[in-house]
Amino acid sequence: MSLQEEISKRRTFGIISHPDAGKTTLTEKLLLFGGAIQKAGAVKSSKISDHAKSDFMEIEKQRGISVATSVMGFNYRGIKINLLDTPGHQDFAEDTYRTLTAVDSVIMVIDCVKGVEIQTEKLMEVCRMRDTPVIVFINKMDREGRDPFELLDEIEEKLKINVRPLSWPIGMGKRFKGVYSLYEKALHLFEPSKRTLSDGVSIENLSDAKLDELIGETDAEMIREEVELVDGVYPEFKNRDYLDGKVAPVFFGSAVNNFGVKELLDCFIDIAPDPNPRETEERLIEPTEEKMTGFIFKIHANMDPKHRNRIAFLRVCSGQFERKKNYYHVRQNKSFRFSNVTAFMAQDKEVIDIAYPGDIIGLYDTGNMKIGDTLTEGEKGSYKGIPSFSPEIFKEVVNLDAMKSKQLDKGLRQLMDEGVAQLFTYDLGSRRVVGTVGALQFEVIQYRLKHEYGATVRFAPVSLYKACWIESSDPKKLKEFIASKQRHIAKDKEGKLVFMAENKSWMQMVEQNFPEINFHFISEF
């Protein structure tokens, strides 16, 4: 099969949502339809012992939330689907932002009861920065929620994107009977089932009298009227508008009960983009180019608790990645050879010999890879980086076991390389401060340090406003500034100079008093 044919058979997308919208459950059902798993179980259900495949870390199972992006590959209708299930919790937003750089499209899950929430709006802003195509799945239609038309208006208003329903629900809550696919012009009815798939029934035409027999005259008349209204209010669906990020197709369903999931997946296969061209600092690289290029967007240590390994996740962007072949590491300016290349089904891995554009592969790493690194077959251009933002919350690391200092150093280094949080080490006294987006991250770091590295810590609150990366075109002025503010100068894990500002007003005053110093709230400048 040619490279072009391999590319056309791939779809790489991320699932994003606000916490508890049903994202991980939808992921599970997509895997079920793809034949990747045989039994579905609600993520937090105590009746089913198997946890969702995508939540593999122990703390995720205990808390019932996703705290790390999971990568899963499966085949459906002859298409290789690479699915990235992202953390919904806002405390882990940076992991989601990084993941969105590695996908070609997104499925956004919205709770029909709660509608559009703050985190959903933030995620949509990230998608809009890259014009990423978005499909919306309005979930939990088996509950009494808000009117579908009201939800569509809210999506257009808050997410600032036009919508076009491609499926429509029949009833809601206890009256929910299935969905009508406007894309296929077919009706699908399902029996609720949390463990196995139901085949369903289909009707080609809404005017068919059989519709009245199946769902009753009242619901049949309602669906006819609502579909007519949808076709009248919303413009005809054009695939180009979706691919350009201008229109979001909308599907309704209930992931936990398998309502509307197959219609979503079937349409996704038809309309979602193949792997896209990607920008490096020098030029635009087409996926069909012969030479392999790719970038690291995620690093995860200890995926398998039995083997203390470190895996770098690479998005292949062009050419083909071959096992046991040498590739050029642009940042380090040297070559590496990878004999152990894996594809993923959550934490289950299989060794592969070759990967194509759109594929997400795992490279066993001994500490050479960092998030944002580019691998090529010799070309020196780097893919546009993945910046770090100034954290929101800061706490000092307090080691509770001096005998485990080496384990603590290693654990902090590896967790920071994963992008779990940011570490700042003060020049004076070597105090170490961890900065995060949300408070829950400290709990995760503390848990993983203890269970994966044997290091016990507590986090002491510190009064800090921002971590600002600093530079100056005048080395003398920079040296003077560091000398005058030495107590507030730290370095990040890359060794970059950082000014630790204690409050907003003081930060503003320092900026005014030192005009020769440039203060940056993002690490890439």
- Residue 200's pLDDT is 52
| pLDDT profile of the chain (525 residues), mean per 10 | 91 86 83 64 35 47 48 87 71 65 93 87 80 94 92 94 93 85 80 52 74 84 90 92 95 87 91 93 93 90 59 93 94 91 70 92 86 91 74 92 93 82 89 86 89 93 93 94 94 92 93 93 70
Task: For residue 330, give the CATH number of its domain.
Answer: 3.40.50.300
Q: Do 368 and 412 lie in a common domain?
A: no
**Residue where a domain stops, chosen among 271, 290, 311:** 271
Residue 382 belongs to a domain: no
- Residue 93's pLDDT is 54
Q: Do 351 and 424 lie in a common domain?
A: no
**DSSP string for 32-65:** HHTTS-S----TT-SS--SPPTT--SHHHHHHTS
How many folded domains does the chain comprise?
Answer: 3
- Residue 510's pLDDT is 94
Q: Do 259 and 284 lie in a common domain?
A: no
pTM for the full predicted model: 0.77
- Residue 94's pLDDT is 63
Q: Which two tokens stand for residue 477?
A: 């002025």
- Residue 209's pLDDT is 82
Taking alpha carbons only, the member of 69, 66, 59 closest to residue 96 is 69
Q: Do 200 and 284 lie in a common domain?
A: no
Task: For residue 435, give the CATH number of its domain.
Answer: 3.30.70.3280
Residue 458 belongs to a domain: yes
Residue 385 belongs to a domain: no
- Residue 308's pLDDT is 55
- Identify the DSSP state of 495: -
Element of type H or E holding 180: strand 178-181
Residue 383 belongs to a domain: no
Contact 371, 315 (CB under 8 A): no
Q: Do 412 and 320 lie in a common domain?
A: no
The CB density around residue 195, as the number of other CB atoms within 10 Å, is 13
**Residue where a domain stops, chosen among 319, 347, 376:** 376
Taking alpha carbons only, the member of 393, 433, 399 closest to residue 416 is 433
Domain span including residue 184: 3-271
Q: Do 347 and 370 lie in a common domain?
A: yes
Q: Cα angle vertex 249, ends 136, 79, to 5°?
A: 85
Q: Which two tokens stand for residue 310?
A: 């470190």
Distance CA(104)–CA(27), nearest Å, equals 17
**Residue where a domain stops, chosen among 376, 403, 436:** 376
Residue 525 belongs to a domain: no
Distance CA(458)–CA(399), nearest Å, equals 7
Q: Do 70 and 214 lie in a common domain?
A: yes
Q: Do 76 and 188 lie in a common domain?
A: yes
Q: Do 44 and 147 lie in a common domain?
A: yes
Residue 293 belongs to a domain: yes
Distance CA(169)–CA(176), nearest Å, equals 7
Residue 381 belongs to a domain: no
- Residue 92's pLDDT is 46
Q: Do 220 and 285 lie in a common domain?
A: no
**DSSP string for 418-468:** TTSSEEEEETTTT-EEEEESSTHHHHHHHHHHHHHH---EEEEE----EEE
Q: Do 346 and 459 lie in a common domain?
A: no
Question: Residues 96, 98, 103, 105: is their CA dihedral positive or negative?
Answer: positive
- Residue 522's pLDDT is 78
Q: Do 338 and 267 lie in a common domain?
A: no
Distance CA(338)–CA(323), nearest Å, equals 6
Residue 387 belongs to a domain: no
